[in-house]
Structure 1
Amino acid sequence: MHFSAYATEPFVISDIRVEGLQRTEAGTVFNYLPMQVGDVMSDEKAAQAIKSLYATGFFKDVRIENEGDVLVVTVQERPSISQIDFSGNKSFQTDKIKEGLKQIGIAEGQIFDKAQLDRAEQEIKRQYLSQGKYSAEVKATASPLERNRVAIRFEITEGPAAKIRDINIVGNHLFTTQDLRANFQLTTPNWMSWWNKDDQYSKQKLTADLEALRSFYMNQGYLEFAIDSTQVSISPDKRDVYITINITEGDKYNISKTKLAGETLLPEDDLRKLINIQDGEVFNRQKVTDASKNINDKLGEEGYAFANVNAVPEINKQEHTVAFTFFVDPGRKVYVRRINVQGNTRTRDAVVRREMRQLESAWYAGDKIKRSKERIQRLNFFDTVELETPSVPGINDQVDMNVTVAEKATGSVQFGAGLSSSSGVILGFNVNQPNFLGTGNRVALVVNTSNYNKTYSLSYTNPYFTPDGISRGFDIYRRDVNTGNTNSSLLNVGTYSSRSYGVGVNFGMPLSERDFVNAGLTLDFTNVSLSSSSPIQYINFCGNTSGCDSNSLVANASWTFDSRDSILFPHRGVLQRLSGEVSVPGLNLQYYKTTYQHAWYKELNDNFTFMLNGQVGYANSYGGKNYPFFKNFYLGGVNSVRGFVNSSLGPRGINPTSGSTYALGGTKEVLGNAELFMPVPFVTQSSQFRLSVFLDAGGVYGQDDPINSEYLRFSTGAGVTWVSPFGPLKLVLAKPLNSKSYDNTQVLQFQFGQQF
C-alpha cells in the first residue's frame, strides 16, 4: 500500500484520473471513492479511499498521488482465474469438485485470491479424509498467464483408503464382541467390503454404531449402560485404523410400573392402550419411545400439533427396577389456516388439493396429513412430495400446510419394444398420459401385437367425475386372437381364432380411504373361427367346425381394498379384490365369472419384504347355454405359476389331426404365491430393481373336475424385476416341483416391454 504525503496544503480537486485498469470499469472505482471533483483533498480522505478500494477485493495494490490539483488513482488489479484443472482425482468427479469450489469463490472468471486457494486445497483434502484416505495429498498451484490471468491446477495423490483392522470392545461380559459388532455398520475387511466400503472408517458411521450399541443394551434391559470412551488410532503408514470402545454394562432392570400424568385430555383408558408395556417386564427403551410416540400421534390426530410426551424414569437401584411416568403436555389445539401448493408447474392445483384429507380451516389431524401425502404420492405425477406445517407468525393456534412437489414426466410414447418367452416378439405402439393437460385425467391409446394376440384400444378415465371422487371411464377396443399363429411349445392351447369388438363405460366410487367399488357395462361382438384341429369342446360350443358369432352385454363389478404403501414395489399392506362379470340375458352368451384375490405384504426390515398371495376363481353358464370357452381361466407363466409354459396348466385336450395334447383352460382356478423380495446385489440404492425367491402353486379345473391334486402344480425359483425406461423386465429362473410327462415346462422365462 502506497500513499504519498502532501507537502502542500490540502487542495481542491479539479479532476480525478484512474490508471492501471484492465477489466474493471472506471465507474466502479469512482463509486468507491469518498471524494469527487470540487472536494478538498486531505490525508484522511486519501487513507479512506485506499481502504475502500482494497475492500472491493478487485485490487492487490492501490496508490493515490496528485499532479497539481489533479488526483491520480493508480491500481493494480488482482488476476482473474482463466482455467481450473485437476489431475489424479478418481474418487470425485471433476465437475462435482468444481461445484464445491464455486461455493467458496474459486471458479473460472472469478477474481483470484491466494487465501481462497489455500482454503480450497484444505477443503478438497478434507473430503478425502472423510473417505478414509488419510494419506491423500492435494497441491494447488497458480500459474500466471497473459492479460493478468492465472491458471489453477490441483495435483491430487489419493492414496489407498485406510482399512479398519480391528474393532475392540472392552468391558463386555454379557455378550460376545462378535455379537455386539453384528449391530455395526463398520466392520473389518470381508469379501463384500470392496463394494459396501464398510471397512473404511467414518466418524458419522461410528457415531451411528455407538448409538446402535447403546440401543442394543438398553433394549435388553441394561438401563445404566454407558460408553466410557472411544479411541480411534491410525497406523504410521496411515493405512490401518484401530477402534477401541470401552463400555460399562451395568445391571439389568425390570419395569415396575407405568402411569400417566399431566393434562391428558383424552380418556386415560384410551391412552393406556397405547402403552404396550406390562408391569414386571424387562426394560426396553424402544418400547418406552414407541409409547411416547403413540400418545403424541394420538394427540396429533385430535388437533394438538405441538403435543409433547416425556417418559420420566424413577430408578430403584437396590431392586433394579424402574417406573415410568408419561407426562403429557398437549399444548394448544391448532387448526390449519391455509394449504399452499407449490412446485406444480404442469399439474393443476385442484388435482393435488382434491387428494388432501386435511382441510383448510379445520382442526389439525396428523393421521389425515399423513394420508394426504400418501394419496398425492400414489398419483405418480411427482418425483418428490414434501409436507410441512409451520406455525403462523404471531398466532399460537394456527399452522399453514405447505405442499411442495417436484413434477416428473408422466406421459409416455412407446414403439415396439416388447419380447416375451410366451408371446414372441410384440410390436406395439402406446401413447399413455395419466395426467392429460395437467387435469389428472387418463388418456391411453394402445396398439399391441404379438404372434397370437393383437389389441387396439382407446380409453379415457376421469378419476373425479364428481367432486366426491366418483370416476367415469370409456373405452373402445378390438382384440384378435389366433392361437394357431404361435409355436405350440410356447403357448400350448387349443387351436382357434377370434375377433372381438367392444365399447364400454365404467364408474368407480370410493367407500372409504382404502375401499373402492367399480361397476360398468361392456357391449361385445365376438366372431370365433374353428378348424378340424380345434378341440371337441370348442366345436361343441359353436355346434360346427367353422365357427360362430357371439354377442353379449356384460355387466361387471368389483370391490378393492388396498392398503399397500406402493403400487410398484410394495413393502407393507394388503390388497384384496373381489370381481365379477355376468352377461345380460337375451343375447348369445349367458355366463358369469368371479375371482377373489388376497395379497399380504410384510416388511421384515429395510431390505426384505415377504408376500403371500392367494387367488380363486369360478365361472359357469346359465339358462341352458354352453359356457364360452374363450372366457376360460388359464394359469402358467411368468405372472402366475412360474416354470410352466404360459396358459398350459389344467385339463388337456387332444388334437385330432396330430394327436398332441394342449391345455383347454377351465372354469375354476386356484393360485398361491409366497415370495421374499430383496434388493439386487450391487444396485441396492436403486428403486428400479428388485430380486425375489418364490414358491408358486396353482391349478385350473374344468366344470366337472373336482378340485384336487390332479392338476395342482408347484414350482420354486428366483426372479428379478427391472422397471426400465422401455417398460418392465421380468426374468425368472424356475424349477417345477411336480410336473407330469404331458406338462410344458420352462426353466428360464422372461417378459420385456410394456404389456397391454
Structure 2
Amino acid sequence: MNKSNSRFRVRSVVALVASALAATAAWAVEPFTVRDIRVEGLQRVEPGTIFASLPFRVGDTYNDERGSAAIRALFDLGLFKDVRIDVNGNVLVVIVEERPTIASVDFAGTKEFDKAALTKALREIGLAEGRPFDKALADRAEQELKRQYVSRSLYNATIITTVTPTERNRVNLTFSVNEGDSARIREVKIVGNKEFSESTLLGLFDQDSGGWLSWYTKSNQYSRAKLNADLETLRSYYITRGYLEFRIDSTQVAISPDRQDLSITVNITEGEKFTVAGVKLSGNYLGRDDEFKSLVTIKPGEPYNGEAVAQTTKAFTDYFGTFGYAFARVQARPDVDRTNNTVTMNLVAEPSRRVYVRRVSIGGNNRTRDEVVRREFRQFEASWYDGDRIKLSRDRIDRLGYFTEVNVDTQEIPGIPDQVDLSVTVVEKPTGTLQLGAGFSTADKVSVTFGITQENVFGSGNYLGLNVNTSKYNRVISLSTTDPYFTKDGISRTFSLFHTSTSPYNDTVDGTYRLNSTGGSIRFGVPFSEVDTVFFGVGIESYQFKPGSQAALYTPQSYKDYFGCGATVSGFTCTDNNKWGIPLTVGWARDDRDSALVPTRGRLQRANLEVGVAGDMQYYRGSYQFQQFFPISKQYTFAINTEFGYAKAFGNKDYPIFKNFYAGGLGSVRGFEQNSLGPKDTPFPGQTEGAAIGGTKKAIFNAELGTPFPGAGNDRTLRLYGFFDAGNVWADHRTNETQAQWDAQQKLRASVGIGISWVSPLGPLRIAYAIPVKQQKEIPNATNNPFEAPLVSKDRIQRVQFQIGTAF
C-alpha cells in the first residue's frame, strides 16, 4: 500500500473518531426548542460562517440527529480541527478550535525552479498564505513539490517541511529542498524500424543522450512532456510519408538503481505504405461544396500525407468558423484498400450550431493595459463568431512583440447554446533594450554612451527611444516616441528629435573640422489593410560645417566640394557651410514572418522614399528590402535577403554626402569592415588610404542556411549558419577620380563564411567568420613609392564580427 495513502486513511479514521467523540456531548438528549445559540473559540472566523452552516436556528427543535449534522457541517468547512456542541438548558454552545492560518510560505535550496513557479503550484492544491493549515495539506505540498522535480528528471530531490508557529494562531512554512543531481538519458533506442535508419529517426527528437553542449540545451534531461512531443514528431514523420497504419506499440523508460541514468526504448510498427486514391466530401457543407473543395490539400496519386489531411480538416473547420459555426466537426474517415495499398479519404462535416461571441476576456497581461491588447482584436463582442477574424486578432496581438505566448480559447456558456466567450491569455516578455558604456582615452578623456528603448512604455503600447553619446569626436543625442494608436482607426504617430556633432578622429592633429546636425520629424503610419501599412512623414534638418585651423589639410575632399571650401587669401574658408532642408518621406511595410526573433518561414518587405523638397538639399532617396525564409525541415532553414538603394539630386543641386548609402559588415557584406565598401576619399597627409564616403547606389544580396548547432540538438535559440554575401555601393564618376579608381569601386564584393546565432540572456547575439572571395587588391601608384598613397587601396578586411543587444 502507498505510504501516503496509508497516512491519509489513518488521518481519516482519527478525524471520524474525533467527530464521533465530539458529538457524544450532543447525543442522548431529549428534543427541545432552542432558545439561544452561542459560539466560543473563534479568533478569525466570522460568527456568521458558523450560523450559516448550522442546520437549525433559534426557535427550532434540537435533537441528536441535528447535532450530528451540525458537527459534520462545521468540520466540512475545513476551518476547524475540533468542534463540540454543549447543551446548557435550552441554550446550545458551539465550541470550536480553529486551524492555524498560513502566514508565509518560503523555499530554501531551490535552484532548478523559480520560487514564484513553486508558489503557484502549491496554491493550486490549496496551500497559500491566508489559508487554513493542517498536516495533511503539508504532506500534499511535499508530494506536489516532488512531482515538480520529477518532471525535471530530479528523482533524488528531498523535501523537509518546517512549521514555525507565530502569534494569533498562525504558522510560517519553510520547504527546504535538496535537489540532488538530475537523471541523464544514457541511450535512446527505436525498435521495429525498417524503412528509415535509427539515426534518421533519432535526429527528429529533441531529447537525446547528450553532447558537449548538453549543459546548455539540457537535451539529455528526461521529461515526459518532451518525450510525448518527440513521439508525436516521430508519428508525423511516418504518416506524412504514406504510412497510414503506423503505430507506437510501447515506450519503455528504465531508470538505473542509483536514479542517475535513464534509457528509453520506443517500439514501433511501420505498417504498409499507402497511396491516396481519391477524396470525397460527405455531410453538410452549407451548400458551398465547391468552396470547400478548393481548400483540399490532399493529392490523389501521391503517398498518404497525414499533415495534408490535418491541414485540410483544419481549413474546413476554420472556414466553417467564418460563418459563425464555432463548433463545426470535420472527420477524415479513411476507406482502406489493403489489396492495392490505397486509401480514399472521406471528409464528413457536421456544422453543428451557429453562435455569436458574448464576451472577450484578457488575462496574463500584468503590465500591459487591457486596451493595448483589445484594440488589436478584430472579433467584436455581440457579433457572430468569425474564425478568420479571431485568427487575425491572435496574429496581430502576437506581432506587437510584447508577449512570448498568445492563446485564444473558445469557451461554451452553460445553458446558452448559441453563445461563446473568448479567453485571450498572454505571457509577457521584456520589451526594453538598454545599452550603457563608458570609455577613457587620451583624446576623449572620459566618454559615456547611453541608450534605452522601450516598446511598451508603462504598458501603454507606446514606443520610447533615447540615445546619448558624449564622445569628443562623435556626440549624439536623439529622442523618438511612437503612439501606435494616435487615432482610434490605428493611425500611428512618431516624433523624432536629434542633434549630432562629429569630427574625424586623429590623435596627432587638432583643429580639423566639425559637422553639426540638428533636426526633427513627424511621421504617420496608416494601415491600408490588416497586413499593409503605409507611412507618411515630414521633417526639417540643418547641417553646419565648421572648419578648424588645420582644415585645409585634414578635410575630406568630398566635404570641401559640397560645402564650397577652399584656400583663399584670407585662409581656408567655406562659401556654403550651412545647409538645411525639408525632407518628405513615404514608406510601406509588410511582415508575415512566423517570428521576428527566430523566423523559420514567411516574408518581410520594406520600401522607403525620402524626397528633399525645399531648402539647400533637394534630392530623392529610395530603398527596398526583401527577405524570405524557407523551412527545409525541422532542423534546417534557408533564407535570402536583398536590399537595393538609389539616390540622386534634383536639377543642378549637389547630392548631400551625409545621405549616402553604406555597405560592409554585419547586416551587409560580412568579412569587410563596417561601412568600408564603396568610394574612398582623398587620403589625408601622412595617410595611404582615404575614408569611405558611401555612394548613391546600393545592392546587397545575402543567403543563409541555418542548421542545428553541434551538440545542441534541435534547440532553436542556438544555431549555426553558413552564408554567402555579395554587394557594394556605387557613386558617379568624380572629377578628381581616375578611371582605375572608379573601375575598382564598381566591382562587386563577395564573401562566404559561417556564424553562430544565439538568443542569449543578454539579448540576440550573432558572430560571423567570413572569408572574402571577391575583393579589391591594392593598385600601387605610378612611381611605386611606398610613402605615396596607392592609386587604389585594398579593401579593409575584418574576418570576425559580432553584435549583441541587452534586454531588461
Q: Same fold judged by TM-score > 0.5?
A: yes
Alignment of 1:563 onto 2:623: no
Superposition map of 1:259-278 within 5 A: 259-265=280-286, 268-278=289-299
Query: Is this contact kept in 1: 2:435–2:452, CA < 8 A?
Result: no
- Among residues 218, 231, 252, which one is paired with 2:273 in the alignment? 252
| Larger deviation, residues 711-720 vs 306-315 | 711-720
Tell me the alpha carbon deviations over residues 492-547 of structure 1, each in whole angstroms, 9 at most, x when there is no partner: xxx75322344544444333333333344434332234522323343333443233
Distance of 2:522 and 2:704 partners within structure 1: 36
Mapped to 2, the partners of 1:237 and 1:321 lie a distance apart of 50
Matches within 5 A, 1:506-655: 506-530=523-547, 531-532=551-552, 533-545=554-566, 546-547=573-574, 548=576, 549-567=578-596, 569-584=598-613, 587-604=615-632, 609-655=637-683
1:376 is matched with 397
* Paired residues of 1:358 and 1:368 also in contact (CA < 8 A): yes
8 Å CA contact retained: 1:688, 1:724: no
Spell out, residue by residue over 1:458-488, the C-alpha distance to the aligned partner (whole angstroms, 9 max, x if none): 5565555665555555545433332x23679
**Could you give the per-residue CA deviations for residues 265-302 of structure 1, whole angstroms, max 9, x where no partner exists?**
46545433432333222222222222222233334345
Amino acid in the other structure paired with 1:573? G
Question: What amino acid sits opposite 1:619 in the alignment?
Answer: A
The aligned residue for residue 315 of structure 1 is 336
Alignment match of 2:346 (pick from 325, 329, 333): 325
1:113 is matched with which residue? 134
Residues 179 and 508 (structure 1 numbering): CA distance in 2 closer, same or farther, change over 3 Å?
closer
Question: Any conservation in 1 of the 2:321–2:386 contact (CA below 8 Å)?
Answer: yes
Residue 716 of structure 1 corresponds to 753
Shift in alpha-carbon separation, 1:98–1:404, aligned structure 2, 3 A: closer
Preserved CA contact (<8 Å) 1:654 1:660? no
Is the contact between residue 627 and residue 641 of structure 2 (CA under 8 Å) also seen in structure 1?
A: yes
Per the alignment, residue 485 of structure 1 pairs with: 505
Deviations 1:372-430 (Å, cap 9, x if unpaired)? 23333334456765444445666655555555667788788x68547899x99974566
Superposition deviation, residue 322 in structure 1 = 1.1
- Check conservation: 1:675, 1:692, Cα contact below 8 A: yes
C-alpha distance in 2 between matches for 1:51 and 1:392: 34
- Aligned counterparts of 1:9 and 1:296: Cα–Cα separation in 2: 68
**1:51-450 equivalent positions in 2, closer than 5 A:** 51=72, 54-55=75-76, 91=112, 97=118, 100-101=121-122, 103-104=124-125, 113-134=134-155, 160-188=181-209, 190-235=211-256, 238-265=259-286, 268-332=289-353, 334=355, 336=357, 354-359=375-380, 364-380=385-401, 385-390=406-411, 399=420, 401=422, 403=424, 417=437, 427=448, 447-450=468-471
CA contact (8 A) 1:637 1:647 kept: yes
Shift in Å at residue 81 of structure 1?
Answer: 7.1
**3-state SS in 1 of match to 2:238:** helix
CA contact (8 A) 1:563 1:575 kept: yes
- 1:696 maps to which residue? 725
Q: Secondary structure of 1:541's partner?
A: helix
C-alpha separation between the residues in 1 aligned to 2:112 and 2:693?
60
Q: Which moved more, 1:598-607 or 1:676-685?
A: 676-685
3-state SS of 2:641 partner: strand
Shift of 1:312: 1.5
Counterparts in 2 of 1:424 and 1:246: CA distance versus 1, 3 Å: farther
Matched, 1:745 2:784: no
Deviations, residues 60-88 of structure 1 (Å, cap 9, x unaligned): 56666779999887777767778888787
Alignment partner, residue 491 of structure 1: none
Partner SS for 1:666: coil
Which residue of the partner structure matches residue 10 of structure 2? none
3-state secondary structure, aligned to 1:215: helix
C-alpha separation in 2, matches of 1:297 and 1:516: 26
> Greater shift after overlay, 296-305 or 3-12?
3-12
The structure-2 alpha-carbon separation of the partners of 1:636 and 1:140, relative to structure 1 and needing over 3 Å to count, comes to closer
One-letter identity of the residue aligned with 2:350: D
- Whether contact under 8 Å (1:419, 1:753) holds in the other structure is no
- What is the aligned counterpart of 2:517 among 496, 500, 516? 500
CA distance 1:123–1:378, shift in 2 (3 Å): closer
Separation in 1 of the partners of 2:117 and 2:463? 40
Unaligned runs of at least 5 residues, structure 2: 1-20, 567-572, 734-741, 779-793
2:38 & 2:354 partners in 1: Cα distance?
69
* Structure 1 residues 361 and 147: CA distance shift in structure 2, 3 A: closer
Moved more, 98-107 or 528-537: 98-107
Q: Which amino acid aligns with 1:621?
A: A
Q: For 1:287 and 1:10, locate their aligned partners in 2 and report how far apart those are by CA, in whole Å.
A: 75
Letter in 2 for 1:591: Y
The CA distance in 2 between the partners of 1:8 and 1:293, in whole Å, is 69
Q: Cα–Cα, structure 1 residues 594 and 419, in superposed 2: closer, same or farther, change >3 Å?
A: farther
- The answer (yes or no) to whether the contact 1:719–1:733 under 8 Å persists in 2 is no
- Secondary structure of the residue aligned to 1:584 is strand
Change (3 A) 1:418 1:632: farther
State the distance in 1 between where 2:401 and 2:33 align.
Answer: 73
- Point out the more displaced range, 55-64 or 630-639: 55-64
TM-score (norm 2): 0.74
Cα distance change of structure 1 residues 333 and 451 upon mapping to structure 2, 3 Å threshold? farther
Aligned-CA RMSD value = 5.1
Q: What letter matches 2:344 in structure 1?
A: A
Aligned to 2:310, the other structure's residue is in SS state helix
Q: Which residue of 2 aligns with 1:492?
A: none
Contact 1:701 1:707 (C-alpha < 8 Å) held by counterparts: no
Q: Measure, in 2, the Cα distance between the counterparts of 1:5 and 1:219.
A: 72
Mapped to 2, the partners of 1:364 and 1:24 lie a distance apart of 48
Identity percentage of aligned residues: 43
* Superposition TM-score, scaled by structure 1 size: 0.79
Change beyond 3 A, Cα 1:459–1:247: closer
Q: What number of residue pairs does the alignment pair up?
A: 743
Q: C-alpha distance in 2, partners of 1:62/1:185?
A: 55
**Bigger shift: residues 144-153 or 308-317:** 144-153
Partners of 1:481 and 1:599 lie apart in 2 by 33
CA contact (8 A) 2:155 2:183 kept: yes
CA contact (8 A) 1:650 1:711 kept: no
